[in-house]
Chain A
Amino acid sequence: MDVILFLVFAVIAVVCAINVVVQTHPISSAISLVGVMGSLAVLYLLLGAEFLAAAQVIVYAGAIMVLFVFVIMLLNAGAETRKGRSLLVQLLGVPLLVAFLGLMAYFVQRLYPQSTSVHFGGFTKGGAKEIGRALFTTYLLPFEVTSILILIAIVGAIVLARKEGD
């Protein structure tokens, strides 16, 4: 059951991810990206990280992607026209892709040689309590640094937005 669900949602995630690139219209790409986020959330849920799954949907699918869609709608971006591919792309595209995938597979094999197979539902420390505890004890410094980074980004956004008025 778990394996079937994993396969279904993994396939959906990959198909949506390919669709993000294939679609010519920005809105369709954005919606496909939402599909990727949603199926990733289901995969988190299968692994027992229910808080992470909910946060994934709320933050990525529910907030960030809504802003993307909103901006695309606001700018009224039209569909892209497909330009003719250059000779270099036509010749080297597929071999480079194969080489890249091979390299990735090789590194994964080297770094995790005897990876034990994942037990679905075997991991039970994905609740809000455990994650909160980990964030405020083990990972306190990265957490605070991230918050300062986000604050800087917010201030930067406001400065950039105000510039025209002055």
Chain B
Amino acid sequence: MDSFIVISLIKVVVVFAVLMTTLAYLQWVERKVIAHIQVRPGPYRVGPHGLLQPLADVVKLITKEDMLPPYVNKPLYLLAPFLAITMSLLSISVIPFGPEIEVAGHRTYMQLTDLNIGVLFVLAVSAMGVYGIALAGWSSNNKYALLGGLRSSAQMISYELPLSLAIAAPLLLSNTLSLRELVNSQAGGIWHWNVLHGPFPQIFSFIIFLIAGFAETNRVPFDLPEAENELVAGFHTEYSSMKFASFFMAEYANMITVSCMATLLFLGGWVAPWPAEYGSSFVPAAVFAFAGLMALYHGANPGRRRDRYTLPVFGVVFLIIAAIFLLPMVQSWLAPLFWFCAKTGGILFTFMWIRGTLPRFRYDQLMGFTWKFLFPVAMVNLLVTGFLVALRP
């Protein structure tokens, strides 16, 4: 019992630290990705390739003046950012990152806790997250904030329906609500993943899930709650300093949750695309070695003057990581973690890619799209899946 508490505490600390770092650096990655889509270098001043930019941002946000406007509804105004960030960080506690591992004689799961209603837990927590945004908009006592909050809650209520229906279809295939068993039911290779697995491949519900996930996290092209040119900044207009930062972090944490859920539900979680006996465990090492060699090559032929010193360092770091992936004792847990992060990262990249590509919807288009198209399609998809699963011998 004592070792259980100690292990759980260590896992909580590790997951929290990694999550916070990821949140900070996700923003750097997003700025870089969008910058490269728009053919500009992006953050480049603070540290090599702007790598210390998140640190500078954190310092800036903490040291800013924390304003409390006199006309707000004080208790709810203070409660809203707290609710938003708590609910968005809470759902990471049921996400499994990898299989059971053994560290210093203790067997433990790479997951904080395995609930047998894990999927419902994530849905419940994300449903509670709406309050953060709605209350922020209302309690600010500001027209723009109120409009942003109203838009956001209407949008989240509407898109929750196709989202839930899209989640229900792969659950029919896997026949469980536990996220760990969900992944175990998809083991064996890419053709066993729910997105491709028979009797009815869940490719449609995967796409519906992603679209509804974009709307749930208020991302482009559904970012009407914070449409700058109409609503100043939407629901967080009146927030400053760390209170603004918590909304910001909540948005990115929600993005991570949606990506993790898509990975677990449709893309087989930490399962490699093909079995290890055909060499899937060498893919991580190969990827990092290729990245390292690319960095070394570009360091030898630098495009910018500073690259001559920074890129070789990155190259050596990547080659060391590639070597670590080849060590047999860490491979058993590092390889699943790599596949989980690769799939989640791929979906996160899609988030950024779409932000750099698509324009914003109009509000009536947004509502019409979900009620007249997305919801019926999700319904038909669920019915067809249900029939085929019932007819399955």
Do chains A and B stick together as partners? yes
Residues of A within 8 A of B (CB): 25, 27-28, 31, 34, 38, 50-51, 54-55, 57-58, 61-63, 66-67, 69-70, 73-74, 76, 127-128
The reply to whether B138 and A73 contact each other, CB–CB distance below 8 Å, is yes
The reply to whether A31 and B120 contact each other, CB–CB distance below 8 Å, is no
Q: Shortest distance in angstroms between B257's beta carbon and chain A's nearest beta carbon?
A: 15
* B123 on interface, CB distance cutoff 8 Å: yes
The reply to whether A70 and B134 contact each other, CB–CB distance below 8 Å, is yes
* B149 on interface, CB distance cutoff 8 Å: yes
A73 to B142, CA, bound (A): 12
- Interface residue ranges of B142-184 to A (CB < 8 Å): 146, 149-150, 153-154, 156-157, 160, 177
* B37 on interface, CB distance cutoff 8 Å: no
With beta carbons under 8 angstroms apart, the residue of A61, A73, A127 that contacts B137 is A73
Q: Which of A38, A51, A69 has the most CB of B within 10 A?
A: A69
A-B contact pairs, 26 of them (CB 8 A): A25-B73, A27-B135, A28-B75, A31-B131, A50-B116, A50-B117, A51-B120, A54-B123, A57-B128, A58-B120, A58-B123, A58-B127, A61-B128, A62-B123, A62-B124, A63-B127, A66-B127, A66-B131, A67-B157, A69-B131, A69-B138, A70-B153, A70-B157, A73-B134, A73-B137, A73-B153
> B326 to chain A: which residues have CB within 8 Å?
none
Majority secondary structure of chain B interface residues (helix, strand, loop or mixed): helix
A28 to B115, CA, bound (A): 32
The reply to whether B76 and A61 contact each other, CB–CB distance below 8 Å, is no
* B25 on interface, CB distance cutoff 8 Å: no
The reply to whether A128 and B124 contact each other, CB–CB distance below 8 Å, is no
The reply to whether A73 and B149 contact each other, CB–CB distance below 8 Å, is yes
> Please, which residue of chain B has its CB at the minimum distance from the CB of A25?
B73
Q: Which of A38, A50, A67 has the most CB of B within 10 A?
A: A50
A32 to B1, CA, bound (A): 37
* B121 on interface, CB distance cutoff 8 Å: yes
* B23 on interface, CB distance cutoff 8 Å: no
* B130 on interface, CB distance cutoff 8 Å: yes
Chain B interface residue count, Cβ-Cβ cutoff 8 angstroms: 28
A57 to B121, CA, bound (A): 9
Q: Which of B124, B127, B131 has the most CB of A within 10 A?
A: B124
Q: Shortest distance in angstroms between B261's beta carbon and chain A's nearest beta carbon?
A: 15
- Interface residue ranges of B67-98 to A (CB < 8 Å): 73, 75-76, 79
Q: A66-B153, A73-B146 are in contact. List 12 more A-B contacts (CB 8 A).
A: A27-B73, A31-B76, A51-B120, A54-B121, A63-B127, A63-B160, A66-B131, A69-B153, A70-B134, A73-B134, A73-B150, A128-B120
> A50 to chain B: which residues have CB within 8 Å?
115-117
The answer to whether residues A62 and B117 also contact, given A67-B157, A73-B146 and a CB cut-off of 8 A, is no
The reply to whether A54 and B130 contact each other, CB–CB distance below 8 Å, is no
> Please, which residue of chain B has its CB at the minimum distance from the CB of A57?
B124
User: Which 6 residue pairs across A and B have the least CB separation, nearest first?
Assistant: A62-B127, A54-B120, A57-B124, A58-B124, A73-B138, A54-B117
Q: Shortest distance in angstroms between B236's beta carbon and chain A's nearest beta carbon?
A: 16
> A76 to chain B: which residues have CB within 8 Å?
146
The answer to whether residues A128 and B177 also contact, given A50-B117, A58-B124 and a CB cut-off of 8 A, is yes
Q: Shortest distance in angstroms between A84's beta carbon and chain B's nearest beta carbon?
A: 26
A75 to B131, CA, bound (A): 17
> Please, which residue of chain A has its CB at the minimum distance from the CB of B171?
A128
A66 to B149, CA, bound (A): 12
With beta carbons under 8 angstroms apart, the residue of B124, B135, B150, B156 that contacts A74 is B150
> B115 to chain A: which residues have CB within 8 Å?
50
